Amino acid sequence: MSTDTRAAVTIDKGKRSAPETRTTKSTTGDKVVGGVSHVVMAIWSLIVILPMVWTLIGSFKTTKEIFASPFGLPAEWNFNNYVSAWVDNNFGGMFVNTVIVVGCALVLVMVLGAMCAYVLARFQIPGSRVIYYLMLAGLTFPPFLAIVPLFFILQGMGLLNTLPGLIITYVAFALPFTVFFLFSFFKSLPYEIQEAAYVDGASEWRTFFQVMLPMAKPGMAAIAIMNFLGLWNQFILPISLNTNQDNYVLSQGMASYASSAGYALDFGQMFAAVMITIIPVLIVYILFQRQLQGSVSQGTSK
């Protein structure tokens, strides 16, 4: 083999080895980033899970046991605290009120928000951009600034201190974010499928409810969970617009119970009440988490 040939082979080997080195470095970097990410996620999971587990264990203890051994297991596992919180402190009634208010408000805001976002995203109508920007402006409006006007508006409508008044208020404050979230989602859906529905003779209503809305299932599930969490944990609106104790929701009940008991607070019952508030949120997330794994392409293939 000549000197030139050997030099060419050496150069060729050098060229071939370079990408392998870059690939190795890239793989090592990915492993480092992945390892750090897993450690951070593990720490964050512990920060979230451990207080919840501690609250769950504390809900089966008496106040004396909690102060004597905060991190120990209860001497007896029973549901006395849950029964007392549910019956004696009327958390059962407040739970029913919360389900009614949040359930009705969630259904209304999802239907109205999806319809509004669909029209604004898919049709060119006069003033559509103005309406969309007004919806965006609603996201910047703090709820506490609207408490006084809302108080007099609901009072004039005869809905102050009532569950329907809370439902209407919840819908009004959740609607802008719902429209904002679903607008870009409906905008990205292919127009060919909508046109195909028109060719098959489908009306606008049928096209929306039977064709376009099922394709938006992942987005609907995501915004439904976000709205549910926001509405379920809402505090400032019910505390200001709903002073009738018979119509209290859970967030009001928790605050009222903790403040009225003072130093005689039964921490076991309070922890049980906290778990009563948390469990529905966990159940809803578990039921809807599979819907979050979808995509637009999966929706169109169906």
Q: HEC string of the chain?
A: CCHHHHHHHHHHHHHHHHHHHHHHHHHHHHHHHHHHHHHHHHHHHHHHHHHHHHHHHHCCCCHHHHHHCCCCCCCCCCCHHHHHHHHHCCHHHHHHHHHHHHHHHHHHHHHHHHHHHHHHHHCCCCCHHHHHHHHHHHHCCCHHHHHHHHHHHHHHHCCCCCHHHHHHHHHHHHHHHHHHHHHHHHHCCCHHHHHHHHHCCCCHHHHHHHHHHHHCHHHHHHHHHHHHHHHHCCCHHHHHHCCCHHHCCHHHHHHHHHHHHHHHCCHHHHHHHHHHHHHHHHHHHHHHCCHHHCCHHHHHHC
- Looking at the domain assignment, is residue 9 inside a domain? yes
Please give the chain's pLDDT, 302 residues, in tens. 444 444 444 444 444 444 444 444 557 878 888 888 899 999 999 998 999 999 999 999 988 898 888 888 898 888 899 998 898 888 899 999 999 999 999 999 999 999 999 999 988 888 888 988 888 888 888 888 888 899 999 999 999 999 999 999 999 999 999 999 999 889 888 888 888 888 888 888 899 988 898 888 888 888 888 899 889 988 889 988 998 888 999 988 888 887 776 667 788 888 998 899 888 888 887 877 766 655 444 444 44
Do both 139 and 41 map to the same domain?
A: no
Q: What is the pTM of this model?
A: 0.79
CATH of the domain at 283: 1.10.3720.10
Number of domains in the chain: 2
40, 58, 76 - which closes a domain: 58
Do both 32 and 164 map to the same domain?
A: no
- Looking at the domain assignment, is residue 49 inside a domain? yes
Do both 116 and 199 map to the same domain?
A: yes
- Looking at the domain assignment, is residue 63 inside a domain? no
Do both 159 and 271 map to the same domain?
A: yes
Q: Which domain holds residue 33?
A: 3-58
- Looking at the domain assignment, is residue 247 inside a domain? yes
